[in-house]
Chain A
Amino acid sequence: MKSLKASGHQLASAAAQIELLEQQAETRQRPTFRNQLESIDLFPLRPTGIDVLQINVGKMCNQVCKHCHVDAGPDRKEIMTRETMQQCIDVLAQTNIPVVDLTGGAPEMNPNFRWFVEEIKKLGRHVIVRCNLTIIVANPKYNDLPDFFRQHQIEVVSSLPFYNADKTDRQRGQGVFQDSIKALHMLNAVGYGQPDTGLVLNLVYNPAGAFMPGSQVSLEQQFKRVLLSEFGIVFNSLFAITNIPVSRYLDYLVASGNYDSYMEKLVNAFNPTAAAGVMCRNMISVGWDGQLYDCDFNQMLDLTVRVPGRHISEFDADALMQRAIIVNEHCYGCTAGAGSSCGGTTA
């Protein structure tokens, strides 16, 4: 399977995605996301702080998941340079942003990944790595990643869309479940997810289809029970995340005929409490080329932050705190039901 970009797909263009999302709201005569925020006095949406610097270090990935909002894959060559990484480190040194969330693609495939992690840790910041698990077993040069993570006390957040092979492989590719289980055993073996080690291993559940996630508490109980009884695997928490209609997931929705009904479901499930707690209010997302965004989804839609300095080299915390966060129809994904963020439910 190729990325949308490599296959020349129309939805590889951010503009085409935005046009589709806006057109849908207009033709269905549904309230726009902006209307919804206005109705609860949240528009314009303002930041509450900058607690997380989420850095996308590249779109290169060893997997090609059907729902990937990054359109990542082995054919994507966009990768953050060491120079841009240094600019991120400079920003961290000048600010007191406590959490750095590294994502991709597979962030570990960036050749400067380990150096970057070490430099951030020297500044005493908490580092989260969004690890797709299979990268750990994809090539011998990555086999020691669990040790590297442990050595630097990295919080590992790993996608595992279901506790069986069928649903996981349908979404993430043949054999992904089996490799994920191997990687989880390796993480557990060095102490991740084990009681009293302080080595945090969180899993991410997102629905393998056009439906919303159920109760995070209930899903976590199921995942813990099955993964322990069938595979002897332990982990800390499960984050239930709603699939956002962006990029390959948007393509899936359209191609499968589920687009209208999924959007309707998200709109009908709009939750004001979730809207008040959206993750874009306390984070800044950095793209592989150093551009700044309100979140990873806005990044994929080329919606850079609405401030004069839109590059990490021009980072101005005061200006960013005054900005209006850019919203559009895809934002319904973060405000539906129990809410959704990179850390799971929000409401």
Chain B
Amino acid sequence: METYYDPADLKKFGQISEFQKELADKFFSYYGSVFAEGALTAREKSLIALAVAHTVQCAYCIDAYTNDTLEKGCTEEQMMEAVHVAAAIRSGSTLVHSVQMMNKVKQVSM
């Protein structure tokens, strides 16, 4: 079945350097540094990445960071809680804008 998202494309991520090597190299170097052990553990960063992957709805990232969190010894419960954090922020960010809606309603209403 042909789809826009081909799981095999995830493995070709490195090939983005084919069209612009310098910027790709800078990106991958940055990416590597971001996910290295730091003030946050690599495991914590992987859970954040999994949550963000759901927020930006990146199918490739969800596959990659599901695998990565499993490899780093996360439980399914921890993984789902991370996704709920993303979902809560996403719904909260929608709902907090309702204040603007309410302000406007009040401004234009008698």
Contact = CB atoms under 8 A, between A and B. Distances in A.
Interface of A: 162, 164, 166-167, 205, 207, 209, 211-215, 218-219, 222
B42 interface: yes
Contacts of B72: 214-215, 218-219
B43 A166 contact: no
B101 interface: no
A154 B67 CA distance: 37
B73 A209 contact: no
19 contacts: A162-B75, A164-B75, A166-B75, A166-B76, A167-B75, A211-B70, A211-B71, A212-B71, A213-B71, A214-B43, A214-B71, A214-B72, A214-B73, A215-B42, A215-B72, A218-B42, A218-B43, A218-B72, A222-B73
A253 to B, nearest CB: 15
List the 9 shortest-distance A-B pairs measured between CB atoms, nearest first: A214-B71, A214-B72, A219-B73, A211-B70, A222-B73, A211-B71, A211-B67, A212-B71, A214-B73
A209 B69 CA distance: 13
Interface in B66-98: 67-68, 70-73, 75-76
A150 to B, nearest CB: 30
A109 B72 CA distance: 34
SS class of chain A's interface: helix, strand, loop or mixed? loop
A64 B41 CA distance: 35
Nearest to A220: B73
Given A211-B70, A214-B73, A218-B43, 14 more contacts: A162-B75, A166-B75, A166-B76, A167-B75, A207-B70, A207-B71, A209-B70, A212-B71, A214-B68, A214-B72, A215-B72, A218-B42, A218-B73, A219-B72
A222 B69 CA distance: 13
Contacts, number: 31
A209 B79 CA distance: 16
Interface residues on B, range: 10 to 19
A157 to B, nearest CB: 19
A228 to B, nearest CB: 16
A59 to B, nearest CB: 30
A215 B46 CA distance: 13
Contacts of A214: 43, 68, 71-73
Contacts of A215: 42, 72
Contacts of A222: 43, 73
Contacts of A211: 67, 70-71
Contacts of B43: 214, 218, 222
A167 B71 CA distance: 13
A107 B56 CA distance: 51
Contacts of B67: 211
Contacts of B71: 207, 211-214
Contacts of B42: 215, 218
Nearest to A213: B71
A256 B72 CA distance: 22
Contacts of B68: 214
B14 to A, nearest CB: 11
A238 to B, nearest CB: 10
Contacts of B41: 218
Contacts of B70: 207, 209, 211
A237 B108 CA distance: 68
A215 B36 CA distance: 12
Contacts of A212: 71
Nearest to B71: A214
Contacts of A167: 75
B97 to A, nearest CB: 39
Interface string B36-63: 0000011100000000000000000000
A211 B67 CA distance: 7
A207 B74 CA distance: 11
